[in-house]
Amino acid sequence: MRAGDWATAPPEHLHRLRQRIVEHRYQMELMEPVWPKLIKVWLSETQRLRDRLGAHQDLHVLARLTGPHQPLAHWRSRLAAPIAQRQAAHVAAAQRLAGRLFAEKPKAFRDRVAALWKNRVEAPH
């Protein structure tokens, strides 16, 4: 997803992005022994990103429940604007977080992770 597309991205794309963030977080847990302080911060920020995208998805589900012939249809006029505002806030925050986490090009990130792994300090036996 390109930087400018977040605000208009279909909810399904943001949900798939969240799934990829979950996978990335689990993969980065493997790096924790290499640089514990850095990776703990990284994991915390990826979790914040995951939470923002999850909240956006939850609001999408709520908005669907206000559609015609849905259980919350009679609340649509009251809920539509607040839902949209909160979704926009979550997407904007997620975009900022992702911009910091993934500022590097994928190859540069891969090279940095490889260098960290190569230069890890191993515990004495």
pLDDT of residue 88: 96
The neighbour count for residue 43, using CB atoms within 10 Å, is 17
What pLDDT is attached to residue 14?
A: 97
% of residues, the chain, pLDDT over 70: 93
In angstroms, the Cα distances linking 4 to 8, 38, 88, 96, 125 are: 8, 28, 13, 12, 50
**pTM exceeds cut of 0.85:** yes
pLDDT for the residue 84: 97
List, for residues 30-74, the tens digit of each pLDDT value: 999 999 999 999 999 999 999 999 999 999 999 999 999 999 999
Specify burial of residue 59 (Cβ count, 10 A radius: 0-12, 13-18, 19+): buried
- How far does Cα 106 stand from its chain's mean position? 17
Other Cβ atoms closer than 10 A to 74? 9
Q: Is the CB of residue 53 less than 8 Å from the CB of residue 9?
A: no
